[in-house]
Amino acid sequence: MSQGMNQTQQDETSAKDWMRILLPYRQPKFGRSIFEIAITIIPFVLLGVAAYWALSIHFGLSLVFSLLAAGFLVRIFIIQHDCSHGAFFKAKTLNTWVGRGLGVITMTPFAVWRRAHLIHHGASGNLDNRGVGDIHMLTVEEYKARDRKGRLAYRLYRHPIVMFIIGPIYVFLIAQRLPDKFLRGEMKYWFSAMGTNFLIALVIGSLIYFFGSISFLLVYGPMVLVAGGLGIWMFFVQHQFEEPVWDAGENWDRNEAALFGSSHYDLPKPLRWITGNIGIHHVHHLNARIPFYRLTEALRDHPKLVNIKRLTFWESLKCVRLKLWDEKTRKLVTIKTAMAA
């Protein structure tokens, strides 16, 4: 019996029951959605302008504004993310076009990312369907079966410098300029990637023309690097914590994996706001059509959800060391622990 099922018995409410309980929160509010876009885009633009202005005084001051803007860039991505789930507006067309527009700012082709991310949601916690839209993870036995080079490659991939510094640069500046390999057979994904690339080039070219290439790099460079690293970190701790739920074959249950295989990253309120409540990930995975601004309503109305897979900021820092899924103990463990066992 899975750990998720054990926890279900303790709470006396199954993941499937929670799925039904959370249905009323799926309805977006048009006015609220527009408001959330405004209070995210406008400060982002103003902080970018302030960062450029501050270059004439001192780069350190400009950097402060760029780092603040990076937080709002993360929030822009969360809005795009909600649009990919059809959660931000009732109209599918509006979700699509807002998502496409925001994809230019986040350097993320909307249709390509939406497809990969929905696959991730459909296979989260499934050991038989890893590898699309998620953090690459091996089981203890898979790691032991690798030769020395294979183990080294995996260690390097999971190293914090690669994962949170080099990785975001590669993903946002290089990998997302083309559709994922499994999508390259369909023209709509090429149109998404190439159309986004064209608009990105147009925007960047215009900014460089008016403000200069050095100023652009000094202002926008830190913004992208910090926002990308923060985004990858958030995605990492949402599924790579000590006791998630991973199963294979008939033992895998989508609802159980969604609720008990995703963390509730309980951040301080300012960080929760800037990350668009995406830390309430167990609720999001169970019902992805809930707009991010209604996730807190679900926690407020149903306090039992608060402590399910709760992870504090300080606890999350330990997750970096956990690299392998131990099918015997049903925990993520360090490589050192796995090899010692």
State pLDDT tens for residues 112-137.
999 999 999 999 999 998 878 788 99
Displacement of CA 268 from its chain's centroid (Å): 18
State pLDDT tens for residues 197-238.
999 999 999 999 999 999 999 999 999 999 999 999 999 999
What is the pLDDT confidence band of residue 272, given thresholds at 50, 70 and 90?
very high
Residues of the chain with pLDDT > 70: what percent? 97
DSSP annotation of 326 reads: E
Residues of the chain with pLDDT > 90: what percent? 88
Buried b (16+ CB within 10 A) or exposed e, 239-270: bbbebbbbbeeeebbbbbbbbbbbbbbbbeee
Q: How many CB atoms lie within 10 A of CB 12?
A: 8
Q: How many residues does the chain have?
A: 341
**Mean pLDDT, residues 146-150:** 96
- pLDDT exceeds cutoff 50 at 1: no
- Does residue 134 or residue 153 have the better pLDDT? 153
State which H helix or E strand residue 205 sits in. helix 187-211
**Mean pLDDT, residues 318-329:** 94
**Mean pLDDT, residues 232-253:** 92
- pLDDT exceeds cutoff 90 at 50: yes
The reported pLDDT for the residue numbered 5 is 43
The reported pLDDT for the residue numbered 11 is 54
- pLDDT exceeds cutoff 90 at 332: yes
What is the pLDDT confidence band of residue 10, given thresholds at 50, 70 and 90?
very low
- pLDDT exceeds cutoff 80 at 60: yes
How many angstroms separate the CA atoms of 315 and 312, rounded?
Answer: 5
How many angstroms separate the CA atoms of 46 and 69, rounded?
Answer: 9
Q: In what order do the strands lie in the sheet with 324-326?
A: 138-139, 324-326, 331-333
Tokens 């975001």 correspond to 168
pLDDT averaged over every residue in the chain: 92
The reported pLDDT for the residue numbered 12 is 73
* Tally of domains in the chain: 1
Range of the domain at 31: 3-340
- pLDDT exceeds cutoff 80 at 47: yes
- pLDDT exceeds cutoff 90 at 271: yes
